[in-house]
Every structure is written in C-alpha cells, then in structure tokens.
Structure 1
Amino acid sequence: MTGSLQTPPEITGADFAAISALLHERTGIRLVPGKETLVMGRLSKRLRQLGLRGYDEYVRLLRTPGGHELGQAIDLLTTNETSFFREPQHFEYLRDTIVPEHRPGRMFRLWSAASSSGEEAYTAAMVLLEKPPAGGFEILGTDVSTRIVAGARRGLYPLESAARIPMELLRKYWLKGRDEYAGLMAAGATLRERVSFQHANLLDDLRDLGLFDVILLRNVMIYFDPPTKAALVRRLQQMLYPEGHLIVSLSETLNGIPARLRMIRPSIYRLPAGSRD
C-alpha cells in the first residue's frame, strides 16, 4: 500500500503546538490543547493527498519559505459556522436604529469582517434593501480563507439554510435551483450587485478598505488571545466613521479592551463623534 493511501498517525504534542503557532502567527487564531482531534479530522485527508506519512512532515512543509501550503491549512482549519439571520437582534438594530440615523450625502458602508461563507453579508443586504439608508449602501465581506471567499461569491446554498429567512424575502431575493442545481438556492442579481467579497486577514493593516458605518465582527474574537483582541479593536475603530458602530456577537464583549468605543447595549458599540484617530 502506498503512503498516500495510509491514514496518518496520531498527531504529537510537538506537531500540534507547531501547527497552532503557525496558525496563530498568520491569523491570530489560537488552537488550545484539546483540539488535537479537530486538527487531525481536518488535515488527515490533506496529508494523504500529499503522500505524507506524518504530521512532522506536514509541519516541515508548512514552514517551507515561499510555500503555499500554509494557506491551504488555514482554509481547512478556520471555523466557518454561520447562518442567515444569526443573532437577529443585530439586524433589527441595524434596521430600526442605525439606518434611520444615517445622514444623506454619502454612501452607507457595512463590513462583514469575518464573512465566512457569506450568510451574514447577504442577510445585511436583504435588511438594507428593505429599508435603504439615505444615499444608498454597499456591503463588503472579507475572510481569511480564500476557499470560503470563493464560495461566498458564488452565492449558492442548500435550501435547508433558508429556514431563518422570512418567506417574503426568500421569494424576493433568492432563486431556486433546477437540474444540476436542484436542492440549492442562489442569490439573485439584486443581492449580488450590493455585496462584494474579498480575501483579507484581520491581522493586516486594512485601512485601504476605507471607512465604514457598521463593522460586524461576530463570533471572531472568541478565537483570539487578549493581545490579539486589543490590537484588532484598535485597528478597527480607526476604520469607523464618527458615530459608526462595531457589533460583536452576543457571547462577546469588549470589557477589558482599551478602546474609545462606547457600549450602546451588550454586543453593540459606537465610536463617539470626534474620537477617531
């Protein structure tokens, strides 16, 4: 039997620590001890594809200068669990409070900063299309995984994922797949023209993306250590318009993180006028 068909052995503590360190260095995500089974579950197939006999060989490949395998590993290891209208309180606040306060004169900009497979960005687009801000709007979704970004751009999802989308919005903005797309739904042109996706690493300086009225950073910081969280919040608050909002998940908080942002309600923060560096 060839090496490429064999199941790789159990990951050692040293190899797990090395993979965790590389992932943290590149993405800020920290894999803590106890996640060894997750790592093996997501990487074992890749090792077989490459014909590698163990994780020690894979670590050497990840460390190869100029290599592309680390990007592949990030795609496989980053968590991409999301859904349409997840934590709906945030979208209600966007519709009922943030949008009515937006002043005419410039485009309203929303950033789904860890957009995963795109459900969050498309949800925001549906909400804003139903109640457009003065001056129009645009939505940007970014993610560290190039594979996931490519999927978000396609805008294809299993029909079961529509469970939380109100029926009137589903009929208005989504297309039901036929033939080879049976069992799928596709984002319609009205959604696609409002949402764009691109690959981006939240550890990088992303100020070239411009300023935003709303940054959604939900279910991201739970994977970061305190120094990484503080540095990320410091960078993102520089990318908000005065009186712009940063929204984290209901299970997250900025408590203990130095910031000029002020909590409006749990998980929703606002940059006071005149406070941006």
Structure 2
Amino acid sequence: MNLSQHSFVAVTDFFHAQSGIRLGPDKLALVQGRLQRLANEAGHTDLDTYVGWALSSSAADEQVRLVDRLTTNETYFFREPEHFQYLGAHLETWKGPGAFRVWSGASSSGEEAYSIAMVLRDRLQQRPWQVVGTDLSTSVVDTANKGLYPLSRAEGIPEYYRKRYCLRGHGDYAQHMLMARELRDHVHFQTANLLEQLPEIGEFQVIFLRNVLIYFDVPSKREIVSRVMKKLAPGGLLFSGHSESLVNLSLPLKTLQPAVYTHA
C-alpha cells in the first residue's frame, strides 16, 4: 500500500493540529509504515481510503489511535546516563522539606520515569519522593502504568539497580521484568499535551524534558518550555536532550552544564 501526497499532507496536518508536532516530507516512510499497520487492523487494503475514513467525523476513536501510533516513542532505560549521574549528585546535597518530586514530561512507555525512580529510591532511602510521567499517547501511558517490560529492555540498567528493582517473571512472563513495588508505588503516569494547558500536577524539584522539543518549531518550543518552567521549583533543575539547546529561546534560563538548566 502506498500513501499519496494528498493523504500524507492531510494526515500530517491533522497530526500537527492535535499534537503540535510537524512531520516533514522526510518522515514519509515512517508515516506510511505506521498507517499500513493501522489500515490492516481496521480492515482497509488501500491507504488513501483508510486516511479518508480515519479523518472523517465518524472515526473519532480511530483518530485517537492514529495520533498514538504516529507519536514517536523511542526510549530506553538510563538514556543519556550523565543526567542520572548529575541527578544522583544533586540528591546528595538536597536538604529541602517535603517530598522530592520529579516530572518526566515526555515519559513515553515509562523507562525514563522508572530510571529516575531507581536513583531517587537509592539516594533518598526513606525520605519521601514521587515521580510523575506524562505523555501525549494514551497507549504508552497504559504501558508505563503497568511497569512491565521485555527483558531485552534491561540492557541499559546498571547491574546494581537491575538486581534490586527489576523482578524477573516466571511462566508466561519468563521473558519479562516487572518494576518493583517500591518503585511503582511512587510513580504515576497520565496523558498530557505539552502545547495545551497542563494538568494540575504540582511543583517539581527536577523536570526531565528530553528528546521531545526536536519535533517542534521555535515558537512552539518557547511556549512549551515557558509553560513547563512554571512547574519548576526555585533552584530546581530542568534537563533537556543533548541535541536540544534552549539558549536560543530567549527565556530566563541559566545553563548549569550542557542540557541542564535552572531559573535565571
């Protein structure tokens, strides 16, 4: 099945309106591949016919699935590990009152949030902490809330954390691992669109906003970071992806080291 230029533009315009993410012509193969799976699941043998139906007013449920499928969800445990080292060092000196709260702002299927949780649990011991993960995609939020992953995803987890916080399954789950209850009890996931009014999730000492801004234009990046910074406590840390510089956004940010910021 091939996707016509007209259908590609229609789908990417719809996706941009829903998510703020602009998929350019270089993403044609990606869009076509993901639409093919959706079309097959919906019983369509022609991509253009599927697109016409999916974008019609009678296919609201399919539109949710379409946005879910087109959302890029590449993630893995302890991605960009120097950020977790920086977080661990920061925790050693933190003396603030109340719970230490971290927001994973583009949490995808939860690997980043649980990586954060391992560091918090290990460094804070019995002091209170919480991790909140948000993502645009409802399907990956459901996956994250389960905390269940294929064993193949464990490769990036340091051995000490893997032995302490990852429970290997048995029987039907022999090739899976479950995040330990002591992590899952402190990690919560919900859907949120970074380009819209954020849910009432409170204030955070640390915010991870990594590897998501690359999909937005400069005005949208500025809008997102400005909105997110309102959730950052005074003296808190904002982590971006190493390929995402925030210095050109004309926002009151102070760079602490590459891809680590705080309020100016």
The TM-score by the shorter chain falls in which range? Answer: over 0.9
Report SS of the residue matched to 1:141. strand
> What is the Cα deviation at residue 198 of structure 1?
0.9
Cα deviations across residues 44-102 of structure 1 (Å, max 9, x unaligned)?
122133233332552453242782222111111111111111111101111102x2343
Q: Distance in 1 between the 2:196 and 2:49 partners?
A: 29
Match in the other structure for 1:113: 105
Quick check: 2:242–2:258 contact (8 Å CA) kept in 1? yes
TM-score normalised to structure 2 length: 0.94
> What is the Cα deviation at residue 186 of structure 1?
0.7
Q: Say yes or no: does 1:92 pair with 2:107.
A: no
Report SS of the residue matched to 1:92. helix
Change (3 A) 1:73 1:96: same
Match in the other structure for 2:210: 218
Q: Which runs of 5+ in 2 are unaligned?
A: none
Amino acid at match of 2:84: F
Amino acid at match of 1:109: R
Identity %: 41
Match in the other structure for 2:21: 29
TM-score normalised to structure 1 length: 0.89
Residues 11-50 of structure 1: pairs in structure 2 closer than 5 A: 11-50=3-42
Cα deviations across residues 166-200 of structure 1 (Å, max 9, x unaligned)?
22211111111110001111111111011111111
Report SS of the residue matched to 2:236. strand
> What is the Cα deviation at residue 229 of structure 1?
0.6
Amino acid at match of 1:85: F
Residues 51-90 of structure 1: pairs in structure 2 closer than 5 A: 51-52=43-44, 53-64=46-57, 67-90=60-83
Amino acid at match of 1:64: S
Q: Distance in 2 between the 1:160 and 1:242 partners?
A: 39
Quick check: 1:105–1:134 contact (8 Å CA) kept in 2? no
Quick check: 2:102–2:207 contact (8 Å CA) kept in 1? yes
> What is the Cα deviation at residue 103 of structure 1?
3.1
Q: Say yes or no: does 1:103 pair with 2:92.
A: no
> What is the Cα deviation at residue 207 of structure 1?
5.2
- Indicate which of 262, 271, 274 corresponds to 2:263: 271
Quick check: 1:104–1:134 contact (8 Å CA) kept in 2? no
Aligned residues: 263
Give me the CA root mean square deviation: 1.8
